Amino acid sequence: MRHSINISFLQKNWWKILSLLLLIYTVVGGFLMEVPRLFILNETIRNLYFHVCMWFGMMILFTISFVYSIRYLRGFNLRNDIFAHQFAAVGSFFGILGYATGTIWANYTWVTDQSQSLGSILKEPKLIGAAIALLIYGAYFVLRGSFTDMDKKARISAVYNIFAFAMLFPSIWIIPRLVGSLHPGAPGSESGNPALNFKDIDSRLRMVFYPAVIGWTLLGVWIATLKIRLQLIRDKTLINE
């Protein structure tokens, strides 16, 4: 009996264990494996496995949220609204972590080593774009909180979520590339398509980077499912009362 429970647990939750294993590999491989020796970046290139993964995880979580918003609008099932809300919440959290880690990284590689002034950092298009994207998602939660009617809240916030997702990629990817930026990937830095382009990223980095993205994203999905399940329990008791 107990044995069968364990097997069904593994069948249902294998991806949680995969996430743990991938992140253990990320920490061990990320700190100990060889990385390209580059000026300015030095050892901070290892932030690729942490800072960049936060943003990739955020984009994947926002994409999942977007899909659930569309599914909500197709059938008006409140379950889908809860899914969209919680995935957007964890995605925003990942975005804030990405922003916070980016400030630390920029402080050493842009301010100290390239002696950029604070003014040029504040004008940085990538930072402004990322801030706009996060603020748009912040407004999503404000919008949700301002409704008392559950159906109206779900419907309008689903439509808003689609708009927020449509703004996400232009503000964090396209605009910074059009105007030039200190951040890798902009015309000024001549680094092409960092982390995404197969020819651009060093194979030693790729060995850890892709597993790291999957690991961090799965952790985000896990936390989101926990929040969804709690919300479902909460709503169930609301309905019963």
Partner 1 sequence: MNKRFSFLVFRFLFLVCGILINAAAFAQDAKPEMADMMRGNGKIYVVVAVCLTILIGLFIYVFIVDRKITRLEKGKD
Report how far residue 229's alpha carbon sits from residue 224's, in angstroms, rounded to the nearest whole number.
9
What phi-psi label fits residue 195: left (phi over 0), alpha (psi between -120 and 50 degrees) or beta? left
Cβ closest to partner 1, residue 206 vs residue 229: 229
Instruction: At 29, list the tokens.
Output: 């491989």
Q: Please tell me whether residue 10 binds partner 1 under the rule CB under 8 A.
A: no
Query: Closest distance between partner 1 and the C-beta of residue 82, in Å?
Result: 14
Site string for partner 1, 43-62 (x = CB under 8 A): x-------------------
Distance CA 122, CA 128 (A): 8
Helices (H), the chain: 2-32, 51-75, 78-106, 118-122, 125-145, 150-169, 175-179, 203-240
Shortest distance in whole angstroms from residue 61 CB to partner 1: 16
Minimum distance of partner 1 from residue 228's CB (angstroms): 10
Can you tell me which of 42, 77, 107, 117 binds partner 1, judged by CB under 8 A? 42
Smallest distance, partner 1 to C-beta of residue 28, A: 6
Rule CB under 8 A: say whether 100 interacts with partner 1.
Answer: no
Shortest distance, position 107 Cβ to partner 1, whole Å: 18
Closer residue to partner 1, CB minimum distance, 49 or 66 = 49
User: Of residues 20, 132, 167, 175, which one binds partner 1 by CB under 8 A?
Assistant: 20
213 touches partner 1 (CB under 8 A): no
Owner of token pair 């294993």: 21
Residue 224's closest CA among 5, 67, 27?
A: 67
Cβ–Cβ < 8 Å for 149, 81? no
For residue 39, state whether it binds partner 1 (rule: CB under 8 A): yes
What is the C-alpha separation between 114 and 225, in angstroms, rounded? 42
Q: Which of 14, 15, 31, 76 binds partner 1 (CB under 8 A)?
A: 31
d(C-alpha 159, C-alpha 170), whole Å: 18
Catalog residues that contact partner 1 under the rule CB under 8 A.
16, 20, 23-24, 27-28, 31-32, 37-39, 41-43, 219, 222-223, 226, 229-230, 233
